[in-house]
Each structure stands twice: as C-alpha cells, then as structure tokens.
Structure 1
Amino acid sequence: MKKRFTLLGVVAIMAALVPTSTAAAATDCSSVSTGWAARGPFAVTVETGAPDTTIYRPASLGACGTYPVIVWGNGTGVGPNTYDGLLRHLASHGFVVAAAKTANAGSGREMLAGLDYLATRNSTPGDVYAGKVNLTRVGATGHSQGGGGAIAAGADPRVDTVVPIEPGPLGDVAKLHGPAFFLAGQDDNVVPAETLVYPRYQRADQVAAVYGELAAATHLTATGDGGGFRGPVTAWFRARLLGDQRAAAQFAGANCGYCAADIWSRFERNAKAGG
C-alpha cells in the first residue's frame, strides 16, 4: 500500500535537505533540470589503476571547481563492473565515485579506503585531482552487502549522507549522523523489504530518513545501470552534496515529487525528514 503524506514547515525541511554551505555549488555545474535518470552533462573517465579502488569521474575536472565524492560498495561476489552503468551515470552528474574493488564491502572500511585514496591525491601537487575533490561533501552508497557497507561507512564523520540500496545486515543505523535514504525492492526475495529494510529505516530516527520501496523491483534491479533506483539515487546526492534545489524538492515539501510517484510501492519520511 502506497503511503502519502502532508508536510508542514516546507521551508525548514528544504533547508534541512540542502546543505547551505554548498548551495552555490549547484550554480557552478551544468543543470540537468529534472532528468536525474538520464545521463548527466559530463563525459566520464574510469581509472582502474589503484589497488583497492576503481574511480569513475568527470573526464575534465574543473567546470565545477571541486567535486563531491561518493564511495560505493558492491554486493557479495561481484565487483564494480556489475554496476558499471550506474557508477558511470553518477560520475556523469558531477561526482567522483570511488568504488571498492572487493566482493566483500560490508565492513565499510573497503569503501572508506577509496576516500583515503582520493584525499591523498587531492593533496598531491600537480596531481589531476589536486584541489579538485570536495572532501567536505561525501556520500556512501552500495547494493546488498555493499548497502550494509554504506551504513557502516556512514558512521565515519567524513560521510555526510548514505543511500543503502537493498542493504544487507551489516552496519549499525544508530551510528548514522547524517540523512539517509533507504531503498528496497518490492519483489526482493533476498533482502525482503518488509522484514530487513523497512525496520532499519524505522530505527534510524536520530537522523532525517526516507524510505523508498521500488515497485516490482527484484534484488537484481540495482545491477547494471541501476534500473529504477538510478534516478532517485542521483536526485538524493544532487540535493545533499550539490545543493540542487530541484532535486531536494523531490524529497521535501507538501507536494514533494516522490511522495506520490507511481514508481514506489511504499514511500515514507520520518519526522526529521518532514513526515
């Protein structure tokens, strides 16, 4: 049954969802209007040379000044190639994506290693990343075991927000300190929405939390280009890390774009997110 909500305090909610310190950043990047599921404006380069991390990034670093970071965790038994389309998509929207080169990312440490790697390169004079990575705007996401890893990584003070996609059981939601967008699949028989994902969203009441259950999605929907998860994940990170007001409006306000969207079998926001 789809949940719909009426919200009060729209201005306050929007302020909570969009970081004021990066509100200007969105004006420096090419606008994508509301086409978050469509390819973004940036050509993408993929770097596989680092021992523990594959980097997906805009090919030319400079148009946006500095670029937020998204760390990624894979599902059990697979690597970044399984999600290549989704990771390229995020990079095309102006993010530097550090994907852990491991099939066991549940601890979150493997994902944070990518952030450490980027921090080193960002501080190395003459490096292509020097001064181009925004280490104060970091998101964590991943699928299945990697979704649990995103929750675990979210305990790190450097991680501002998390998007666990059909997350495995690892990671403690009580340790999250920033907004969270929990994504489940209505027809996921591996990580069932009602028993394994929705309860974790409910327990994350110390932060602004949103729950989206993608209609007819299975556990494999997130692979490849991310399927129906792709647009909402992109909108969330554009709102949280790039200060994109259009994207924030998908999650905030009485007429929030996703509140009554037909893509969901269930959509909720907790009190801190305006629900």
Structure 2
Amino acid sequence: MRKLSLVLKAALAATLLGLLAAQPAWTATATSSSTLATPRYYEQTGPHQVTKVAGGPDHTLYYPSDLASDPAKHPVILWGNGTGATVSQYDEVLKHWASWGFVVAAANTGQSGSGQEMLAGGKFLVAENSRSGSLFQGKIDTANIGAAGHSQGGGGTIAAAADPMVKVSSPVEPGPQGSVPAMRGPSLFIAGQLDYIVPSVYVRGRYASATAHPAFFAELKGSDHFFPGDTRKRLIGVETAWFCYWLAGDQQAKAVFFGPRSSAELFNDAGWSSVDRNAKADAVS
C-alpha cells in the first residue's frame, strides 16, 4: 500500500511538472480591475513611493523610494516567478509590498523551482547591507527575510524556506518542488478554488505536511491559477498582512490570522472559500 501511495504521488508530481511547464503564470493581461467600494486595509497601497531597478546577481529590486532618508531597517521579501513567467507579470504585488516598506528581490527567471535563485537575492541584500557606499548599507533587516512565489515559484518558495535565512514564507499555488517538512518557519499556503493547474486539493495536501511549524491554508474563492479581478486584490491584501505581522511585528496584521477562529479576520472573510490552520498556528493564537 505504501509503495502504491508513493507511485501515485510521483505520478501526480510528474503531471504537475508537465502542466506547469506548459503554462505561463499570472499573465500580464490578467490585471486587477477592482470593483470594491472599500478595499480592506492591507489591500490599500502603503505609505511609500516605490523604486524599481535591476540589481543583484540577476534580480529586479523594488524598494521604498525614501530608503536613503529613512532611518529604519527594512524587512525583505524574496520572490519566485511561475514557469516561463517574468517579474513584470507580477509587478502589481511586488510594488505593493515595497509601498508597505519591504525591500523585494525578485529573481529574473521563469525557472525558480530550486529556490536557489530566490535565495541569491537575499544573499545579495545581506551583503549590500554591510558594503560601504551601498544604497542598502544599514537599511536591511537581515533577521526578517521572507519568501513567496507563485506556481513553480511557489515550489521554489518551499525549497527556499528550508534555508535559515528565510524566517517566514507563503507558497502560492505551489508546484511539487521543495520539501514541506524541511521548511523552517511559519507558512501560508494559498490555493485557488477554481485552479485546475495546481488544484486546491493538492495545495491542501502540501499544507497538511506542515506539522513542525505554524501553517495556514487559504483557498481563494472564485480564483483560478491567474487571480482574475478582485481575487487578486484579496490575495495581495492577505499576503501583505502575513508579511507585515511576521517580518514587521504589525499587531493589526496579526488579527487577520490569529485569535479565536470566530473573530480572526481571514476565517470570517467571504472572499475565501476555505481556511484552516494547524496546531502550531493555533498555539500562536
């Protein structure tokens, strides 16, 4: 029976790899045209203007434009694209994070499943934090680095989250790359209710393997693999809150996830069709 289960898992992983190889992720044409009268707090643009530049080994960097004059250290988010996708296709979410005070290092590749491409951006920023004359000298909060990615980049996020550099992660509709039990910090697994490329049941299965650290599963109502319309705003807001809490200590963001399930915002948001958290996450509450 165990051998059969391993064969089935291998077959599913092979099928997913084939699908992901054939699908560009988060298409540039699928922009968010929100019809929301009042966006939720973390869906709103943050207080910073944003600068976008090429940098790192092979990365696109997003950061608050007032970085040089701001005395604060800034947490980091490492990003991995989906298969065959480019950083520009995720421009909306990456700029949004930078507007909230994060420095974002997005790997310029559509093959980020190893996680190493993402980690290279983190290593670059850690080195720049100590390099005399660097724009980022003394500006990087090296103890607060997160990772997120979509599709194959979600699998890369799982792989990157095994590295001690990464404090917290959020795999979005992740492929089969990486080992969930090897992840070291809190994780938020995002699935799409109507995703037939990386089905929700598969993402839930990966989340179920996260028993050694606090983990959440959240299924986005009405979303396919490319987050059409308002589903993209829902995703961006929840991801922003996740990183604001874990990387910046934002206690308002904590209330999105933690506390009694009867009052925690994510469990009571009609934009999400299914939400769960494991025993380790319950203990945080």
TM bin, normalised by shorter chain, reads 0.7 to 0.9
Corresponding residue of 1:179: 186
Partners of 1:166 and 1:184 within 8 A in 2: yes
TM superposition shift of 1:223: 10
Given the alignment, which residue of 106, 116, 126 partners 2:123? 116
TM superposition shift of 1:50: 3.8
Distance 1:225 1:267 in 2: 15
Task: Give the number of the structure with larger relative contact order, counting CA–CA contacts within 8 Å between residues 6 or more apart.
Answer: 1
Partners of 2:223 and 2:231 within 8 A in 1: no
Corresponding residue of 2:270: 262
TM superposition shift of 1:64: 5.6
- Tell me the amino acid that sits aligned with residue 160 of structure 1: K
Distance 1:106 1:79 in 2: 14
Distance 2:231 2:190 in 1: 16
Corresponding residue of 1:236: 242
TM superposition shift of 1:226: 4.0
Corresponding residue of 1:30: none
Secondary structure of residue in 1 paired with 2:207: helix
- Tell me the amino acid that sits aligned with residue 65 of structure 2: A
Given the alignment, which residue of 67, 74, 87 partners 2:94? 87
Paired residue total? 242
Partners of 1:222 and 1:229 within 8 A in 2: no
Corresponding residue of 2:36: none
Name the Cα RMSD after superposition: 1.9
1:77 and 2:84 correspond: yes
Distance 2:229 2:63 in 1: 19
Corresponding residue of 2:52: 46
1:216 and 2:222 correspond: yes
TM superposition shift of 1:121: 1.3
TM superposition shift of 1:227: 3.5
- Tell me the amino acid that sits aligned with residue 266 of structure 2: Y
Distance 2:105 2:247 in 1: 15
- Tell me the amino acid that sits aligned with residue 38 of structure 1: Q
Partners of 2:217 and 2:277 within 8 A in 1: yes
Given the alignment, which residue of 95, 104, 109 partners 1:97? 104
1:59 and 2:65 correspond: yes
1:204 and 2:171 correspond: no
Corresponding residue of 2:281: 273
- Tell me the amino acid that sits aligned with residue 124 of structure 2: Y
Given the alignment, which residue of 191, 196, 201 partners 2:198? 191
Partners of 2:222 and 2:231 within 8 A in 1: no
Secondary structure of residue in 2 paired with 1:56: strand
Partners of 1:84 and 1:225 within 8 A in 2: no
Cα gap change, 1:111 to 1:263, in 2 (>3 Å)? same
Select the structure that is richer in helix.
2
What TM-score, normalized by structure 2, do the two folds share? 0.82
- Greater C-alpha Rg: 2
